[in-house]
Amino acid sequence: MEKKSNTIFAKLKWFFTELMKMYSSEDSYFSKKRVESGVAFVISQWGMIWFLIKKIDVLTASDMLIWAGIEFAVAGYMVNQIQKEKKTEDTTN
């Protein structure tokens, strides 16, 4: 059991070390831009879900369509940004 907890501790230490490197001049395993856009995406999704839960009883069908459209727009934007980064990385390598 001790070896397993030591492994978990080592992995957590590595994870937080890499996060700290992300905001320094050292190379990091994680991409700062992707982490920040992922956090922004999660925050926006929770905001949209919270809005839906609070307003579900007063939303009309057109309001739901607008809500779904915004959801698809956000998801499409995220996928587009990721694909754009992949294309840029492929051409530079």
Is the domain of 61 the same as that of 74? yes
Is the domain of 36 the same as that of 21? no
Task: Check residue 39 and give its pLDDT.
Answer: 82
Is the domain of 18 the same as that of 38? no
Q: Is the pLDDT of residue 1 over 60?
A: no
Is the domain of 35 the same as that of 49? yes
pTM beyond 0.85, yes or no: no
Is the domain of 38 the same as that of 83? yes
Task: Check residue 91 and give its pLDDT.
Answer: 63
Is the domain of 70 the same as that of 86? yes
Is the domain of 53 the same as that of 79? yes
Domain span at residue 87 reads 31-92
Q: DSSP readout, 8-70?
A: HHHHHHHHHHHHHHHTSSS--SS-HHHHHHHHHHHHHHHHHHHHHHHHTTT--HHHHHHHHHH
Looking at the structure of the chain, the number of domains it has is 2
Q: Is the pLDDT of residue 24 over 60?
A: yes
Is the domain of 57 the same as that of 78? yes
Is the domain of 62 the same as that of 80? yes
